[in-house]
Amino acid sequence: TPYPGSQECFLADPAYEVLLGGSRGGGKSAALLWSFAQHCQRRFGVAWRGIILRRQKDQLDELVKLSREIFPRAFPGIEFNIILKTWKWPSGEELRFTHFENISEYMNFQGQSWPWIGFEELTTWPNDECYRFLMTCHRSTRGSNMPLLLRATSNPSSVGHNWVMTRFRLPLAGFPHQMKGPLIDDARDERGTLLPERRYIHSKIEENLLMLANDPGYIDRLCAGATSESQYRAFRYGDWSITAGGMFDDIWPDVRETCIVTSFDPPPTWRITPA
């Protein structure tokens, strides 16, 4: 049963593209797993296939471990292939764990079809290339009765903070009290093409009742582990207004209250190093 609040909202939202973000410890990873699993053993069978991605292979370990703790309890008879990192349900559904570090690896996915795609920790990708490319593999053979769902989780900060924040128009106007962002249905790409609808949902650590009951000291350790004010606000509150993902992190603690130059032409002698 999902926790009341962001988990319930995330699992029920019908929008094509949904990002569950917020503070650390809010139960986002479990919600991502259940986003796929809630449609298993229903009516789609072998046609219901999903893929969960991290940027690097070693980053999959914790999510795989979590899935091995919860899936067998909910779905007797489910089997996990350690080599392929793939769950297979008795009724035929499959969920695969893999990595996609940069766009040069796109051949690993070309020609594949996935009706459900999940990205764990979206801000670890420095740009949106891998994210957008996987949309070309987002299709089904069952027509309109099968949902096509693109789901992601992330905390603020890391190298991809800025593109994720821009894509989902963050921070929310009512932060920190607003949980569900507005449906974004007017976004267009650089060619003017209307993009599929998307939404942001905000998670709070206070919603993870079981974790806090088992480990009441976690919030204090979380706060103590932050090495800057921006990091503290990202870890504790999931605040997207921090300055992150660039060379000058923490110089401006709040982008909403700081005047900076919007753009300029750098001198020709400057060397620009991409993030």
* pLDDT, tens digit, 9 for 90 and up, residues 138-188: 988 766 688 999 999 999 988 999 999 999 999 888 777 789 999 999 999
Query: From residue 162, how far is each of 51, 59, 124, 166 by CA, in Å?
Result: 25, 21, 11, 6
* Weakest mean pLDDT among 4-8, 30-34, 38-42, 210-214: 210-214
SS3 137: helix
pLDDT of residue 251: 47
**Cβ within 8 Å of residue 126, ≥6 positions away:** 159, 160, 275
What pairs with residue 86 in β-bridges? 81, 96
The secondary structure of residue 194, as a DSSP letter, is B
Listing DSSP states for 57-103 in one string gives GGGGHHHHHHHHHHHHHHSTT-EEETTTTEEE-TTS-EEEEEE--SG
The confidence band for 261, taking pLDDT boundaries of 50, 70 and 90, is low
What does the pLDDT average to over 249-270? 65
pLDDT of residue 246: 55
pLDDT of residue 17: 98
Mean pLDDT of the chain: 89
Residue identified by tokens 């020709």 is 268
pLDDT of residue 244: 63
Share of the chain above pLDDT 90, in %: 69
pLDDT of residue 143: 64
52 neighbors 96 (Cβ within 8 angstroms) = yes
Joined together, the tokens standing for residue 124 give 């670890």
